Structure 1
Amino acid sequence: MQIIAVNDAAVAVGLEIGMPLANARAICPDIDVFDADAAADTQALVHIADWCDRFTPLVALDLPYGLFLDISGCAHLFGGEAAMLSLVCRLLSRQGFIVNAAIAGTPACARALTRAVPGRIAPDGEEAATVAPLPVFALGVEDTITRGLRRAGLKTIGDVASRAPREIAARFGQAFTDLLREVLGQCDAPINPRRPPPDFIAEQHFPDPVATEETIAATLSGLAQKLVAAMERQGKGARRLEASFFRADGAVRTVVVDAGHAATRANMIDRLFRERLDALMDPLDPGFGFDLIRLSASRVDTVVQEQRDLDVHTQDNDDVAALIDRMTARLGRQQVVVYLPQDTHIPERAMRIVPVQQHLPQALSAQWPQRYEGEPPLRPLRMFERPEPIFVIADFPHGPPAHFNWRRARHRIARVEGPERIAPEWWNLATGMNPAKNREARARDYFRVEDSEGCRFWLYREGLYRREVFEFRWFMQGVFA
């Protein structure tokens, strides 16, 4: 068992990362030891990254314990780089974390400064001079490379940079040479943000945290008006909106709503969030209050102006879309669905269940098979997602069974209508699909049957009858009303 993390008190008594636990107890018998939990550490880092979204939308993980924040164009909002650096460290320390931070023009340079001289800001274009006196361990490379550099007499980053790049690459590899160039500011490697920045953002900072529902609702309404005004200037409407609530103790709660059509009115956005907040199983807990509320449009569409005053059908569609949005916000996208017809011969795949919010135009224009007036239903009202096998008591090659067992019950067939043959799609057969291995590639003979008690079923026989051998099985496809 080895030590993988230490605090300042442990370092003061001579403990270090990688030391066996037995040696550490010999040095300091009274140390407190906790089992390592890499998953919990990563989850805590993700929560910290969510909280850092208040400073910039471009936040990336630097596992196992680091974060990158791209603050280009954001520092002036917090009083400059020095003030922003102090603010981030102070707020995270208040939450109980030990934090080191630095600012530089490249991520690798900022990481090296954080390891060796936290709190340093490298001026633009002076990264090489800033990191030159730092020891080589600040590069964060493997121990074998660090020991090799020291054995070669290269104890600082400046010493390594003074050697020719081809010499360094020949000894330690091209990856180390590329890292050194990034640390020196000679090239840049952009960070990979956790999520793409939203298209439009409106946020409200509070000098004192707020906790009342009235204040939160009024703030969301005001932010919705600002967001709509910003989108209207560019002819956009929101399809997905995210409301982020930043608590004073560092917790962040995000509520997401979707719109079937591009939302262009503030009252529509306000109504969707009211429905969503009222339907939350875990209510929005303000704790000690929220000091920042942000409303962002993470997905937008171009708004096409249409005449709606005299078009009754357009107004009806708008009302239906608004109702669907409200139901989806309250119940969830997967709970409000619609059926769409599919071009297939397989009955259980004749329709597809999709969220109606994203497929309302397809649902309104879908073409379903027409049934003549007075014609009895040819398909059962209840269709099984997967056909259920039945056990045939008396099997006849060219007709339905006289009896069958299904779900531990025996049924005697009194009336039969059929067969109706449904052949597999020819395009599946053309691909060389083996019918013996794929049930959907085998022909089916369907029968509408009624048992002695008046229950009506839709059965089918899979496979074809040959004189030499019986090559078919029976399945229950659905039940008539």
Structure 2
Amino acid sequence: MRTGNALRLAQVDSHARKAGLSAGMTLADARARCPTLATLPCDPAAERQALDHLARAMLRFTPVVTPDPPDGLILDVTGCAHLFGGEDALARRVLAATRATTRHAFAGNAMAARALARHGADGNRGDIHALPVNALDLPDDALTALRRAGLRTIGDLARRPQAGLAARFGESAVMRLRQLLGETASPVAPRLPPVPVRAEARFAEPLIRTDDALEVIEDLLRQAARQMEQRHAGGRRFAVTLERSDGARRRLAIDTGNPVRDPATVLRLMRERIDTLADPLDPGFGFDAILLDVPRVEPLAPRQDALEGGRAAADDTLDALIDRLSVRLGADRVTRLHPADTHIPEAAQRLRPAIENTVSAPVSTWPLASGRDVALRPLTLFDPPQPVAVIAGVPDGPPQRFRWRRKVHEVRLAEGPERIAPEWWRRQDGHLGKLGGLTRDYYRIEDSEGRRYWMFRHGLFDEKSDPRWFLHGLFA
């Protein structure tokens, strides 16, 4: 991480600590002590995401889990440890689940356990009084004042009158001390998992008509819509389970491109799904129960209706069409182009299901136009690029004449080259295809008839003795 003009270590592993490195040390000093030091840039957002992921994973051991940024978790295991064979067995299970180098401690309250884990020995259950005053997590100036007064451990503070400590070092120091000693509460605000959006209906007499079941599904959708409206959210996936009286179950699921909570919209898609079933929906002896689950929920802000009567916007109409076609034909048959993280022209876009939204599946954005009148890349690309025979004035120069589709073209203007290097880190997986692995020199060509082409020489002369030419695209 960068602090001022200096790069400092944000975290170090056990091997770095054994080499004398610590968090907060400048990178220059760290490399002077350990020339073979391997570093990675600090990514606070990714670290917060990883910490949230670990917090959700810890819910299997206790329902009370709260993150302790930047790199800690607090678990209240009161009444839970015996389910795993005791505290030691629980600790081993937790450490095995994290798959990382961690430190842990047990104590009677959250702040004491946190202090023992961060400033004591690993797995310590012991004496809070032996911890250094750093365990109070006070500002640096307050810690410096405590050390200058000869107070170096928690025990040194505990033996002093608290009134005098508060007058000299502030109320916060006394409050932290009392929390560590268990004299005052240190509540933990657990991160509770979101309550699932569900609705169900059970019947004394089975439903024997599919239309009656659809009416019940519509009512369940209204119940789910009210739940999502309270959360300012919408559903991206709706799953219906129909339980028959003979024990059989039929499951129907639909996905939407954007979060929705309108029951009529979801019911229309559900009818589309029923109509496309290869095995018709057979009530048999009737449905005993119908369950609706919305497993995929995303934020959906309230929208203002239009003044001219609430006509749907063009984007909404297109989204509804994509949803209907995806349900009717299959999500993999209705696709759209998404940008890919590569500079190889023919691989710069991928076909992905159109129903996938960038909110749930982030992708890189398309490059912005440069603002020039002349387009640098053509709209029409050949896949694969078509080979051409070229005559050039010099070996590594632009073409002066080329033959394409049995016709000779005289070059009037040529601009370039635009050099595109191969992606050497992807050569092993075959991602670049047959034309990957060599440097390309692209030229924008205009022939004597005014037609414009995008051509490249595949390979430099030090890479290949006889590099070939290819026509990759046509300008409008």
TM-score by length of 1: 0.45
TM-score by length of 2: 0.45
